[in-house]
Structure 1
């Protein structure tokens, strides 16, 4: 399995690039680029300026790339931090949280303390109780202090995703709960008000979900049947629904390109009498048809973009594309899911995707490998 990255790269969290006369060229990777030394089983987590990679085939160490990556001799700091035997990791701009077989630790990356800022022991753990960060026994770890936040035990949380200021939780029974900031409809309750406590997304009640993800101001989930549901802010088309801003920009570019046809003699085409419907905020879950021929396998959200992998190994992206994070080798934004042709052209089958706020990381295998064994399960 190989990992590729594209999008925001100002801190070399994807790859080290040579400096160019054009400032933006060194801060963006527009063509999916293979990450160095990322061959084999591994996990990737990303924040705005950092990338944490957990390598599963060797001694299960975590390596950090991006801002202050050389903070210690092993590219991960504080200097006393030993990541051998790590099973999972999450990273934010201020903290790195690591899960080990017997404990969970959260380290302040801006501190020189020789002890974690938060730690809990795991007692009498069974194989069926694997930790899937940011969930931890009794609650979850947040991206900023207080690091540990409790959760009601009756929720029976299966997975949890954190957005810019909200959270989305999936229960073992397939129900979805959200809480936090709601100013952009990202909670899915039909309003724009915050929720202090987990509240079920009633529009999804009775439909079993199997995966959830959260962006800066939007949320998505995958149903048991492989359907994709989205809600929240759609300013950059991150929901895959018609965005007024994107359509207006596209129309202006078309008008400029067709400027020679529009003169003082009135040769411009007449406007469409049918007014388009645009979605700025989608406060209830909406179904998005990513691919009519296959189901969605996994999904991830950036700050204002979304990426989904289908059961046939295709990667689709949409939303904000200013740094090339959509993988289409342009900086254009999209309000419709579009297949990333790079992987198809390279005869690669995508098996996983992880979005940072302004970039995207995709894991892929050679299609020939699929003829010899089953598609590997997502390591996340």
Structure 2
């Protein structure tokens, strides 16, 4: 599997730099760049099977032909060199099955244990560990981080936080200040800060305990995703639902900020009447004129987003203020904030409409997975398409 990255690269998370500091032109990678594979001392090439990213780092999970595995960390706190262009291989990660990386901690999941390592200091320190009961005959990853037996791993202390076993959690994702949980039956629960509508309950109040998103009742979901202050999920039927903050168009809904920016760049464009549905849903346009456009600054409950009418959505990932989705046809669509090139359209333009990343179509590459960092995007390619 091949991986490509684009967007914020100030710490070399996407591609390394020849010197100790990147040039200004290398901070923003607007053309998708292939992530280098790791080569160990025995010259054995390791395949990148998964990437996890945060604002300043990228963690790549590598597998070799002998089913061994390890994690390579690139970005802040690592020293890039010409021999290890995919990042620094962490010896303590040998044999791990999954990993997540944050600004402070790296979490590693092994068949028999989970470990959290402090990345802030000069010396790597294991700050928390937990043994896992192993089952004979089990194959494949035993965990789906950040879920661990009985709870989940948070981005800041307390690192381990319990969950009720009655929730029957299947997967869990963490935003800047909120969490989304998907149960084995396809029900979505959210909790945490709700000031930008990111919980999907129709209001802006916080929730201390997991609460089911009632607007999605009766529609089983297959996956969930969350960014800084927005959220999304995909139904079993391949429909995409989004909610939360939309100032940068990260929900794919009309954004006042982006439309105003376009008008300023095109001064001859005639102004139109607008209604901001997110901030004042009951307010009529001035003079009683009929509204031509409805802007959404905050979408406090799930809204159906039609990414493309020709196919279903397979995978979704959210950055701080942008979103990426992979369709069943192998195309990658992105939208939201794009000032670091994280949308992959070879520009620094933001967009409140899903747009296909043409690079992969032009190269006849089929996208199968996507992972968003805060300000960048990583796409996985399975193999070349056949004509």
TM-score range, shorter chain: 0.7 to 0.9
Aligned to 1:53: 60
Question: Alpha carbon RMSD of aligned pairs, Å?
Answer: 2.3
CA offsets 1:64-102 (integer angstroms, 9 cap, x no match): 10111249x99256xxx5211110000000000000011
CA distance in 2, matches of 1:53, 1:352: 14
CA contact 1:347–1:366 (8 Å) conserved in 2: no
CA contact 1:299–1:353 (8 Å) conserved in 2: yes
Give the C-alpha shift of residue 32 in structure 1. 0.3
CA distance in 2, matches of 1:172, 1:132: 13
Give the C-alpha shift of residue 47 in structure 1. 1.0
Which of residues 226, 236, 242 is equivalent to 1:214? 226
CA distance in 1, matches of 2:333, 2:342: 12
Aligned to 1:377: none
Find the residue that maps to 1:107 and give its secondary structure. Answer: strand
Aligned to 2:333: 316
Aligned to 2:26: 26
Aligned to 1:343: 360
Give the C-alpha shift of residue 367 in structure 1. 3.0
Which of residues 100, 117, 142 is equivalent to 1:90? 100
Structure 1 18/198 Cα, relative in aligned 2: closer, same or farther at 3 Å? same
- Matching of residue 148 in structure 1 with residue 160 in structure 2: yes
Give the C-alpha shift of residue 26 in structure 1. 2.1
Structure 1 105/17 Cα, relative in aligned 2: closer, same or farther at 3 Å? same
CA contact 1:313–1:350 (8 Å) conserved in 2: yes
CA distance in 1, matches of 2:316, 2:353: 15
Which of residues 181, 204, 215 is equivalent to 1:192? 204
CA offsets 1:187-231 (integer angstroms, 9 cap, x no match): 000110110100000000111000000000000000000000000
CA distance in 1, matches of 2:270, 2:223: 46
CA distance in 2, matches of 1:23, 1:57: 33
Please list every run of 5 or more consecutive structure 1 residues that lacks an aligned counterpart in the other structure. 259-267, 372-380
CA distance in 2, matches of 1:314, 1:121: 40
Q: How does 1:1-380 map to 2 (within 5 A)?
A: 1-17=1-17, 24-37=24-37, 40-58=47-65, 59-70=68-79, 75=88, 81-111=91-121, 116-125=126-135, 127=138, 130-255=142-267, 258=268, 271=272, 274-368=291-385
Structure 1 334/271 Cα, relative in aligned 2: closer, same or farther at 3 Å? closer
CA contact 2:48–2:60 (8 Å) conserved in 1: no
CA distance in 1, matches of 2:124, 2:107: 15
CA distance in 1, matches of 2:318, 2:359: 20
Give the C-alpha shift of residue 42 in structure 1. 1.3
Please list every run of 5 or more consecutive structure 2 residues that lacks an aligned counterpart in the other structure. 39-45, 274-289
CA distance in 1, matches of 2:134, 2:94: 21
CA contact 1:18–1:26 (8 Å) conserved in 2: no
TM-score, normalization by structure 1: 0.88
CA distance in 2, matches of 1:181, 1:223: 24
CA offsets 1:291-336 (integer angstroms, 9 cap, x no match): 1000001000000000000000000000000100000011111000
TM-score, normalization by structure 2: 0.86
Stretch of structure 1 that moved more, 97-106 or 35-44: 35-44
Give the C-alpha shift of residue 144 in structure 1. 1.1
